[in-house]
Structure formats: structure tokens, C-alpha cells
């Protein structure tokens, strides 16, 4: 991210800068993509001033507009593929979980979304020859379900599989976890994640995976019983754009989880559809529907991918982690 401070922008004094920060606009980039009304409300300034500040931020932040196709191609060439640890699953994904894209895993409670997330947090640290991306991971944990003990088990599983003695502690050191206490906090943590990723950008272990587990739980809890979904969807949409940007900027995979209701829920409509509805559907590039099967087997279905055929894979979740069924 840019080194420009909010105070460096025209029309922003220390008091306004503070108000902006208090409202969650921590960076010039965040201001650059805000709407004048939004900024005016949060910083108690007029909309015309807000518009001027946004313009100044856009120039300073270099948030870009159009890119030519050759540049897009250049960026696409950097796309990495992260192994899941299950060959069928990798194959269905065209080699693994892609960087610069959002992958959404949805399914009922206990289907294994958090388990897959833990496994990816381990695998991303492996060198590319082993299916990893040689990088570290940031986890935004909204349900307090991150378990270091589980990582240790999975690293041991991997050691056996590869016949190498990996040190679980080394793996744990490259996993940066933050609890998100509510949806606003969750959104703000993406900025913190960007700061961290920026710091690690030129290190041995740049951030190559961002996990948001669960993407929707706070939104769902906070907006239940309210008259309109519009606010929630708008906020969720903005959040998704923030994490997509993270993926692009740091050539990182982005994996988010989303629950489906097992019981009909009038407020959220169709019980078999993931929370977040259409907006999430259009933003998440890869959508994976996970469901339980016999014993430790799980069925992963790829739904609506832009460039891959829909498909199904069977994986297993054991003490050693994710593997072939
Ligand atoms: P919610 O967050 O509640 O929506 O569920 P989830 O989809 O995240 O489910 P999660 O990933 O937490 O999966 C829990 C399931 O994983 C358990 O019911 C077990 O079947 C399996 N599991 C978790 N830990 C272990 C383990 O150490 N060994 C084995 N064999 N299975 C495990
Ligand atoms: Mg979970």
C-alpha cells in the first residue's frame, strides 16, 4: 500500500484525519474507494469536501482504472495454485486453489470448511515443488475456531506423507490469526491484513493466503430481524471487494467460508442456498459446496466456476488432515 498519510491529502487536517480513522478509513486507498456520502457522514464534513478528498486520495493512491489486456495477462501469469492435499480435489480445481481469486466454501455445520481452511494454512507454507506457495497465511477468525493443536496434527500428517520431519512450531509461526468480534471489526481486519502483507512482501514468507472463517456469520447474526437486507448486502459486497483487492495486490489466495441453513429460515429465504445470496455468488470466483458422506469422507462440488467445468471430488478428513478418499 502507499506510504501517503491521510494528513498528506488536500482538505484533510489532523482532526478530519482522526475522524476518518475512527470511522475505519485507515488508508488513502480506503478513502479512494469510498463514496462522498459515506465519507461525509463518517467525518462530519460536507459532501463537496468529501468528494474533493476522495479525488485527492484517488490520485495519491494509484488505485488504477483500466488495465490493458497484456497487463492483465502479465498478472495472470503469476497466478499460483495451492494444493488441498487431495488429488481429486486439486484436479477438479485445475491444479489447486488459485491465487488472485476468491474461493468460497459453503455447506452445513460440521461439513469440514474449517478443516479445509486449517489444511490450506499448512500447505501454503510448502515450497512450490510440493504444491505450496512458499508463503504465510492470515486468518480472520470470526467464530473462534482456529486450533493450533489441529495445525500440529496436520503438520505431523504431512511429515509422514512426505517422509520429512517438519517442525510444527515453524508452521505455526507463519500463521497470523486475528479474532473478529463483529462485522465492522472483520472489515477493518482486512486493512490490518494488508499492512501485514505489505510488511512481509519482500520477506522469505510473503502472505499467499487470506482466510475469512466465517465470512457471513457476523453479518447474519447482526442483521437478523431487521427489515431490509440491503444494508447487509452492501456491506458484505464492500467487504468482498476489499478481500478481492487483497488477493490481486499480494498475489494471494483468498478462501472464505459460508454456512447453509439446515432449517428453513424465513429471513434468509431458501434454506439450501448459502448466506449472502446473489452478491456473494457473483463475487466469489470459485464456489465449493461441501457435504458429509460416509465416515470421514466428504464430497466437494465445484459450482459455477468461470473457466472450469462443474465437478465433484471426494476427500477424507482424518486426524492427519485432508487427503484422498
Ligand atoms: P461450521 O463452522 O460449524 O459451519 O462447520 P465446519 O464446516 O467448519 O466444520 P469443521 O471444519 O469444524 O468440521 C468438523 C468435523 O471435522 C468434525 O465433525 C470431524 O468430522 C472432523 N474433524 C475435526 N477434527 C478432526 C480430527 O482431529 N480428526 C478427525 N478424524 N476428524 C476431525
Ligand atoms: Mg467452521
How large is the average pLDDT for residues 49-55?
93
Other residues' Cβ atoms within 10 Å of the Cβ of residue 35:
13
Q: How far is the CA of 113 from the centre of ligand 1 (A)?
A: 8
Interatomic CA distance for residues 2 and 194, integer angstroms:
11
Q: How confident is the model at residue 295 (pLDDT cuts 50, 70, 90)?
A: very high
Q: How many helices (H) and strands (E) does the chain have?
A: 13, 11
pTM of structure: 0.81
109 in ligand 1 pocket by Cβ < 6 Å? Answer: yes
Q: Which of 136, 146, 195 is nearest to 171 (CA)?
A: 136
Predicted confidence (pLDDT) per residue in 156-183, tens digit: 999 999 999 999 999 999 999 999 999 9
Q: Are residues 122 and 246 in the same domain?
A: yes
Q: Are residues 220 and 94 in the same domain?
A: yes
Beta strand extents in 24-142 (DSSP E only): 81-82, 97-98, 102-107, 136-141
Looking at the structure of the chain, the number of domains it has is 2
Q: How confident is the model at residue 142 (pLDDT cuts 50, 70, 90)?
A: very high
CB 193 within 8 A of CB 209: no
**188 pLDDT more than 50:** yes
Would 111 be classed as within a structural domain?
Answer: yes
Interatomic CA distance for residues 77 and 92, integer angstroms:
20
Q: How far is the CA of 134 from the centre of ligand 2 (A)?
A: 25
115 in ligand 1 pocket by Cβ < 6 Å? Answer: yes
Would 70 be classed as within a structural domain?
Answer: no
Distance from CA of residue 61 to its chain's centroid? 22
Q: How far is the CA of 94 from the centre of ligand 2 (A)?
A: 25
**2 pLDDT more than 80:** no
Site of grid cell 484525519: 17
Q: Are residues 125 and 258 in the same domain?
A: yes
Q: Are residues 95 and 120 in the same domain?
A: yes
Average pLDDT of the chain is 89
Closest-lying ligand to the alpha carbon of 110? 1
Q: Which domain holds residue 98?
A: 75-324
Half-sphere exposure at residue 71, Cβ-oriented, CA atoms within 13 angstroms: 6
Would 66 be classed as within a structural domain?
Answer: no
213 vs 22 pLDDT, higher one: 213
Predicted confidence at residue 246, as pLDDT, reads 93
Ligand 1 pocket test, pick from 84, 114, 147 with the greatest ligand atom count within 8 Å of Cβ, gives 114
**CB-based neighbours (< 5 A) of ligand 2, an ion:** 113-114, 145
- The percentage of the chain sitting over the pLDDT mark of 90, rounded to a whole number, equals 64
Q: What is the domain-level CATH number for residue 51?
A: 1.10.150.20
Q: Which three cell numbers stand for residue 80?
A: 499460483
Q: How far is the CA of 214 from the centre of ligand 1 (A)?
A: 14
Residue 150 Cα: closest atom of ligand 1: 27
Would 67 be classed as within a structural domain?
Answer: no
**121 pLDDT more than 50:** yes
Q: Are residues 55 and 79 in the same domain?
A: no
Q: Which of 245, 163, 177 is nearest to 211 (CA)?
A: 177
Instruction: Give Cα separations from 128 to 125, 132, 135, 208, 271 (angstroms).
Output: 9, 5, 10, 12, 39
Q: Are residues 139 and 250 in the same domain?
A: yes
Would 276 be classed as within a structural domain?
Answer: yes
Q: Which of 280, 193, 178 is nearest to 236 (CA)?
A: 280
Predicted confidence (pLDDT) per residue in 192-239, tens digit: 999 999 999 999 999 999 999 999 999 888 887 655 667 787 788 889
Of all protein residues, the one whose alpha carbon is nearest to atom 14 of ligand 1 is: 110
How large is the average pLDDT for residues 86-108?
95
Q: Are residues 19 and 81 in the same domain?
A: no
Would 54 be classed as within a structural domain?
Answer: yes
Of all protein residues, the one whose alpha carbon is nearest to atom 28 of ligand 1 is: 319
Residue 116 Cα: closest atom of ligand 1: 11
Interatomic CA distance for residues 288 and 303, integer angstroms:
6
Predicted confidence at residue 65, as pLDDT, reads 66
Q: Which among 35, 61, 87 is the end of a domain?
A: 61
71 vs 293 pLDDT, higher one: 293
Amino acid at each position: 500500500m502507499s506510504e501517503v498519510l491521510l494528513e498528506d491529502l488536500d482538505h484533510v487536517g489532523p482532526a478530519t484525519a482522526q475522524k476518518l480513522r475512527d470511522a475505519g478509513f485507515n488508508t488513502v486507498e480506503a478513502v479512494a474507494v469510498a463514496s462522498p456520502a459515506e465519507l461525509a457522514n463518517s467525518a462530519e464534513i460536507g459532501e463537496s469536501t468529501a468528494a474533493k478528498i476522495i479525488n485527492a486520495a484517488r490520485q495519491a493512491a494509484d488505485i488504477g482504472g483500466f488495465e490493458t489486456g497484456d497487463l492483465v495477462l502479465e498478472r495472470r501469469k503469476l497466478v499460483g495454485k495451492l494444493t488441498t492435499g487431495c488429488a481429486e480435489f486439486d484436479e477438479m480445481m485445475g491444479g489447486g486453489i488459485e491465487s488472485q481469486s476468491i474461493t468460497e466454501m459453503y455447506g452445513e455445520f460440521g461439513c469440514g470448511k474449517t478443516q479445509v481452511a486449517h489444511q490450506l494454512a499448512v500447505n501454503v507454507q510448502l515450497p512450490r515443488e510440493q504444491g505450496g506457495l512458499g508463503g504465510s497465511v492470515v486468518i480472520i477468525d470470526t467464530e473462534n475456531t482456529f486450533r493450533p493443536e489441529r495445525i500440529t496434527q496436520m503438520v505431523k500428517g504431512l511429515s509422514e506423507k512426505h517422509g520429512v520431519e517438519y517442525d510444527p512450531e515453524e508452521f505455526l509461526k507463519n500463521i497470523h490469526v486475528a479474532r473478529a468480534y463483529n462485522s465492522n471489526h472483520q472489515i477493518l481486519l482486512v486493512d490490518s491484513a494488508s499492512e501485514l502483507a505489505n510488511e512481509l512482501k519482500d520477506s522469505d514468507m510473503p502472505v499467499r493466503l487470506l482466510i475469512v472463517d466465517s465470512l457471513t456469520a457476523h453479518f447474519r447474526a447482526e442483521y437478523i430481524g431487521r427489515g431490509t437486507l440491503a444494508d447487509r448486502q452492501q456491506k458484505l459486497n464492500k467487504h468482498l471487494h476489499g478481500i478481492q483487492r487483497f488477493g490481486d495486490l499480494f498475489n494471494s489466495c483468498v478462501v472464505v467460508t459460508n454456512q447453509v441453513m439446515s432449517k428453513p429460515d424465513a429471513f434468509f429465504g431458501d434454506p439450501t442456498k448459502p448466506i449472502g445470496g446473489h452478491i456473494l455468488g457473483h463475487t466469489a470466483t470459485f464456489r465449493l459446496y461441501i457435504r458429509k458422506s460416509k465416515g470421514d469422507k466428504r464430497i466437494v462440488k465445484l459450482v459455477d466456476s468461470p473457466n472450469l467445468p462443474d465437478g465433484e471430488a471426494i476427500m477424507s478428513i482424518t486426524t492427519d488432515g485432508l487427503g484422498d478418499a
